[in-house]
C-alpha cells in the first residue's frame, strides 16, 4: 500500500468533498480572481467535484474520502497535507494559518484506512503541492510560496533512512506550488514551465533522460500544468485546459477532462484535489 512514483497506474486516491469550500487568497491566481469579483460558487463546485469523482471511477481508480470540517474551507485540496511515499505517508506542515489543522482530518482518514505514516514535518513548512516522486528513491519538493527549505530539510531527514532522497527545487513565490509549473504525466515525461523553473532542475531531468513539454506562462496562469497522471497513457485534466490538452493528445494520451473552473480559478486543479494512496510501480 504505497506510491513508488508519480506516473504508475493509479489505484486508490483520497479526496474531500467541497462541502465548506470558499475563496482563500493565498496564491496569486486566487488573489487575481477575487480582485476581479470571481468568487466561489459552492453549489457548482460540488457538482464539478462529483464530475471529477466520476471521471476517476471511470478510469478504474478507487475513490476514498476524508470527512469535511466546517473550520477547514480548503480541505478539498487534499494534496497539500503531505505526500505518499514508498514507505508511507509523509505528513507536511502548512505555512499559512488559514490552513493550519487540515492535516488532522487527513491523518484520521489515513489511520482509519490503514495507511502507515512515516513521519511528520514540524519545522518550517512542507505542502504536498510541492512534492513529486520522480522514482521510488527521489522525492523533489519545491520551495516557492508554500514549502520552506527548513521544512524540506526535515523531510529529507525523515526519509533518508528509508532510502528516499529529497531534492529541493527553489523558484519564485509567485508560482505558489511546484505543481503549478511542473507536472509528471508519464514515465520520464513532464509538463514544465521552463521560464519559471531553475536551470539546475531542468538539467537534472535531462540528465536522467526525461522529456518535457514546455507550457507558456499564459497557460500556467490558468492552472494548465496542474494535471494528474493516471498511468497507462491516461491523464486527468480539465475541460478548460485546451492548450495543454491538445499537446497531451498529440502525445497519444487518453484524457479525462471534467470541467473544474470553480477550482482552477482559485489556483487548484486535478493534482491539488487528489492525494494518491496507491500506484503501481
Can you tell me the mean pLDDT for 101-107? 95
156 lies in some domain? yes
| Burial zone of 203 (CB within 10 Å; 0-12 exposed, 13-18 middle, 19+ buried) | exposed
**pLDDT at residue number 205:** 98
220 lies in some domain? yes
**pLDDT at residue number 98:** 85
84 lies in some domain? yes
pLDDT of residue 235 exceeding 60, the answer is yes
Helix (H, G, I), strand (E, B) or coil at 279: strand
pLDDT in tens, 70-96: 999 889 999 999 999 999 999 999 998
71 lies in some domain? yes
- Distance CA(264)–CA(226), nearest Å, equals 9
**pLDDT at residue number 101:** 92
Helix extents (H) in 25-142:
28-35, 42-58, 103-113
3 lies in some domain? no
Range of the structural domain that residue 182 is part of: 10-279
pLDDT of residue 32 exceeding 70, the answer is no
* Terminal CA-CA length for the chain: 11
pLDDT band, residue 8 (cuts 50/70/90)? very high
Can you tell me the mean pLDDT for 139-147? 97
Domain count, the chain: 1
Q: Residue 79: which of 160, 183, 159 has the closest Cα?
A: 183
- Distance CA(9)–CA(76), nearest Å, equals 23
pTM equals 0.95
pLDDT in tens, 161-214: 999 999 999 999 999 999 999 999 999 999 999 999 999 999 999 999 999 999
1 lies in some domain? no
Give me the CATH number covering residue 240.
3.75.10.10
Tell me whether strands 234-236 and 211-214 are parallel, antiparallel or unpaired: unpaired
2 lies in some domain? no
Amino acid at each position: 500500500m504505497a506510491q513508488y512514483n508519480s506516473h504508475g497506474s493509479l489505484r486508490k486516491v483520497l479526496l474531500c468533498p467541497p462541502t465548506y469550500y470558499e475563496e482563500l487568497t493565498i496564491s496569486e491566481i486566487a488573489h487575481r480572481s477575487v480582485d476581479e469579483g470571481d468568487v466561489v460558487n459552492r453549489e457548482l463546485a460540488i457538482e464539478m467535484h462529483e464530475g471529477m469523482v466520476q471521471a476517476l471511477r471511470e478510469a478504474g481508480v478507487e475513490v476514498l474520502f476524508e470527512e469535511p470540517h466546517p473550520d477547514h474551507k480548503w480541505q478539498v485540496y487534499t494534496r497539500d497535507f503531505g505526500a505518499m511515499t514508498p514507505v508511507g505517508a509523509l505528513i507536511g506542515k502548512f505555512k499559512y494559518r488559514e490552513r493550519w489543522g487540515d492535516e488532522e482530518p487527513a491523518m484520521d482518514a489515513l489511520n482509519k484506512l490503514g495507511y502507515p505514516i512515516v513521519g511528520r514535518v514540524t519545522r518550517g513548512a512542507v505542502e504536498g503541492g510541492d512534492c513529486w516522486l520522480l522514482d521510488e528513491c527521489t522525492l523533489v519538493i519545491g520551495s516557492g510560496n508554500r514549502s520552506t527549505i527548513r521544512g524540506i530539510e526535515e523531510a529529507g531527514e525523515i526519509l533518508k533512512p528509508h532510502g528516499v532522497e529529497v531534492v529541493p527545487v527553489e523558484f519564485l513565490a509567485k508560482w505558489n506550488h511546484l505543481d503549478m509549473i511542473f507536472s509528471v504525466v508519464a514515465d520520464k515525461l513532464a509538463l514544465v514551465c521552463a521560464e519559471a523553473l531553475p536551470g539546475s532542475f531542468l538539467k537534472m531531468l535531462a540528465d536522467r533522460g526525461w522529456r518535457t513539454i514546455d507550457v507558456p506562462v499564459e497557460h500556467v496562469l490558468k492552472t494548465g500544468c496542474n494535471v494528474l497522471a493516471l498511468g497507462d497513457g491516461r491523464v486527468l485534466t480539465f475541460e478548460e485546459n485546451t492548450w495543454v490538452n491538445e499537446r497531451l493528445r498529440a502525445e497519444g494520451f487518453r484524457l479525462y477532462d471534467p470541467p473544474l473552473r470553480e477550482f482552477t480559478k482559485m489556483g487548484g486543479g486535478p493534482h491539488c484535489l487528489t492525494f494518491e494512496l496507491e500506484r503501481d510501480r
